[in-house]
Structure 1
């Protein structure tokens, strides 16, 4: 039987304290860098302070005066406020509807100085001194506007969401003199969409209000 030789335990080499390993170098630099970041957050760096100041700065605003349904109104608003948002959110006139909010459906149609506009695309700050008429301003007390009455007579609505814009646009169409024929009415009312498909009855209502149909 061969003789067994005792196995001697080998002591691992001791690293020199003057030569840090890669692991200790990374750990040390990470700790120092983290401490520096925390220090900046606690003390508040100039860049961070400037960024925070910009974040809380109020957006630019302007004071605008305009006449809405015969009443002079003066408000201070964000320069980005649309006429539609001014009417609905600042003046509590919610008859004008926010449909597409992109000028494609006509549900927000109002009259500005007698002309039809999509109020969702119109900046309110550009209307200093203007006269605005909404669906709420068409009736005279308890007496409906002739086109409002015609919509009732002709049953020219179903869900009613587009109706305010349709009526205001129809009033503008009549005032502009574009009611010479059913085809002309359809052409000049084409910017107002009706999801329920009441176009024929809407056309008849405009004809009635224009005096061409009883």
Structure 2
């Protein structure tokens, strides 16, 4: 039988949390992590299909919650960022379960390994994600730094739009006080975008994609 116990920081006897894991003897718990709110997450593999499932015990109390996404590859470790988004190593990719979401999003895919492995996952306070590949290489996903836009060759007098989005990976509302552009091309922002000056993003939320357009002009 599986159980998760809490050792109080102030001392005293351990507290067994109210987890109700599958009772099949072939099932096993593979990873455990906590978010900033104190919610506990356990990555579990269960027969008969041996799929990977994440169980959550809310810090506010009550019974466990089985998160909707299931993983059929080699599940590994988990980590949570400041916005309580959960990251799961699901070889050969890393999956993100945004806080309050009912599905997982693949944030990075690596070359498929020759042998099974459980990918490590770690997140720093800025929201950057780290993992170790089977080759031993440490990779870093720069989620705290904006990606570069690379516009294709553009004919004179035409525009090429590129879609971008903004996600708040912190634990407080993000205010977009100023959006500016630079570079050799004139850039225009879509009027339908909510990525505008003065808009605000709650923790863990995404802004609707903006569409800057590069206009090629004659020298």
Structure 1 length as normaliser, TM-score?
Answer: 0.24
Higher helix proportion, which one?
1
Q: Select the structure of larger CA radius of gyration.
A: 1
Higher strand proportion, which one?
2
Higher relative contact order (CA 8 A, sep 6+): 1
Structure 2 length as normaliser, TM-score?
Answer: 0.24
